[in-house]
Amino acid sequence: MDRDTDGADEHLVREAEKIAVALGRMFPGLCEVVLHDLRDPDHAIRAIENNLSGRQVGDSATELGLARIADPEYPGVIQNYPNRFPDGRPAKSTSIGIKNAAGEYVAALCLNLDVSVLSPVTLTLSRLVATDTEHRDQPLETLRARGARELRAAVETRAAERAATPRSLSREDKKALVRQLQRDGYFDSRDAAQTIADLLGVSRATVYNYAK
C-alpha cells in the first residue's frame, strides 16, 4: 500500500471514529458502538463507545469483520441481526462496512443495541394500551359531548330507517328511538331532552317518560 493510499484510508477511519463516538453518546447505557479498523484484524477495535460487551481498544476483529477482509463483495450493511452480549443479554446489531476508493474494506462501524433493557418497557406499554374484551357486548361510552347538530342527525337517520320523519313515527318507535339515544349517550349534553322533544313533536316530560 503506498503512502497516499494509506493516508486516505487513515482519514476515512478517523472520520468514522467521530461518528462512532457521537452515536454512542447519543444512546448511553443502551447502544454500544464499535469502530473496527480492518487493516489490522488482530488489533481491530479502534474505538468503543458506551461499552456493553466488555471488549477493549486493540481487541481483534469479529467473524463478520474477517469475512469483509476476505471478500470485498461482502454486503456493505448487515442490518438488525440478532446478537448476544457475553453475559447472555440479547442484542440487535447492525454492521456497516466502510470501503476506500479502491473498493477495499478498511473499517466497519458496528452498533449493538441492548434489547434486554427495552423488553420490560415494551411489555409494560403493551399492557398499558391493552383494552378489556370482557365488556364488548355492552354499550360503550363516547368521550365527547354530543352536539345539537349530531343529535338531530341521529334522530333523522333513525327515523329514515323506518321510512318516516321524526314527528311521524309511532309512539312505540319514538319510545324506542329515545331509549337508543339514551344508551348512545346523547342525554349527556345540555338541553338534549328539549332538542329531542322538538324533533319528535312531543313534550320534554314525554321524552323523559320514554327514557325510563
> How many domains does the chain contain in total?
2
Do 9 and 110 belong to one domain? yes
For residue 80, which of 103, 57, 50, 112 has the smallest C-alpha distance? 112
Do 108 and 22 belong to one domain? yes
| Residue-range definition of the domain harbouring residue 39 | 3-116
CA distance 8 to 116: 39
Strands of the sheet with 105-114, listed across from one edge: 45-49, 31-37, 105-114, 90-99, 77-84
116, 137, 166 — which closes off a domain?
A: 116
For 136-165, write each residue's pLDDT tens digit: 555 545 444 557 788 888 888 888 888 788
Q: What is the pLDDT of residue 2?
A: 59
Query: In this structure, is residue 86 part of a structural domain?
Result: yes
Read off the CATH number of the domain in which 96 is found: 3.30.450.40
For 192-201, write each residue's pLDDT tens digit: 888 899 989 9
Do 57 and 153 belong to one domain? no
Do 26 and 95 belong to one domain? yes
| Dihedral of alpha carbons 159, 163, 165, 169, sign | negative
Hey, is 203 helix, strand or coil? coil
The residue type of 168 is S
Do 57 and 159 belong to one domain? no
Query: In this structure, is residue 104 part of a structural domain?
Result: yes
Query: In this structure, is residue 143 part of a structural domain?
Result: no
Mean pLDDT of 23-48: 94
C-beta of residue 60 within 8 angstroms of C-beta of residue 43: yes
The residue type of 19 is I
For 68-106, write each residue's pLDDT tens digit: 999 999 999 999 999 999 888 899 999 999 999 999 999
Do 11 and 99 belong to one domain? yes
Query: In this structure, is residue 122 part of a structural domain?
Result: no
